[in-house]
Amino acid sequence: MSKPAAPLKGRAARLARLMPSTGPSTAARTPFVLLVVLLLGGGLITLLLLNSALNEGSFRLSELKRDTTELTDEQQALQRDVDSRSQPDALERRARELGMVPGGSPAFLDPDGTVRGNPTEATAPPPSPSPTPSPRASAGAAPDPDATATGASGSASPSGSAPAAEPDSAAESDSATAPAAESTPPPTSPGR
């Protein structure tokens, strides 16, 4: 066994008599241990919440980048469509489909009201005779859109009223065999 502890002398003996020793006190350490455990637990929970918030933001960012890419692709496709419809030959073909004709020489009004130039009426060129498509050719290829548009619309007056003359039977047969793809709705522009 162990030796008994030597008796304390002097000042240490007096302190020992005033504060009796009952062994190591666990009651004094309990609040400190609970405080440390609570701080560590709170820190871990805070880190988990922060990590989940960052992950959610990362997922949202990747979703927004994907949406931006899709919208950019759609915008570029629409811009290509606008560019293709804005080309001069496409505008001319569409104007002929609507019954418009090229204008004559223009006349101008001066500020004093006098007319400068010789105004002429815009007339449609005579329709070019289009050959009747064979059954084999009409199944594989579409007829000329300029020929069917001018043949079906006849000649239009400058005021935009109905055609003056009835189209002949050959033009009616051409317009009856025209594919439905050529009768697309007119393009719309913003603000009109």
C-alpha distances (whole Å) from 39 to each of 34, 49, 53, 112 are: 9, 15, 21, 92
List, in sequence order, every beta strand (DSSP E) within 49-142.
108-109, 115-116
Q: Which residue has the higher pLDDT, 154 or 47?
A: 47
Per-residue pLDDT for 95 more than 50? yes
Q: At what angle do helices 88-97 and 145-153 cross, to 10 degrees?
A: 30
Predicted local distance difference test score (pLDDT) of residue 154: 43
> Residues 58-73: pLDDT tens digits?
999 999 999 999 999 9
> Residues 16-43: pLDDT tens digits?
777 766 655 656 788 999 999 999 999 9
**DSSP code for 10:** T
Angle at 102 between CA 97 and CA 106, to 5 degrees: 150
Per-residue pLDDT for 84 more than 70? yes
Query: How many helices (DSSP H) and strands (DSSP E) are in the chain?
Result: 6, 2
* Rounded CA separation 28/34 (Å): 11
Residue 159 falls in which region: left (phi positive, over 0), alpha (psi -120 to 50) or beta: alpha
> Residues 5-14: pLDDT tens digits?
666 778 877 7
Average pLDDT over residues 117-137: 68
What tokens does 163 get?
A: 């055609």
Q: In the chain, pLDDT over 90 holds for what percent of residues?
A: 36
Q: How would you label 138-151 residue by residue, b for 16+ Cβ within 10 Å and e otherwise?
A: eeeeebbbebbbbb
Amino acid at 176: A
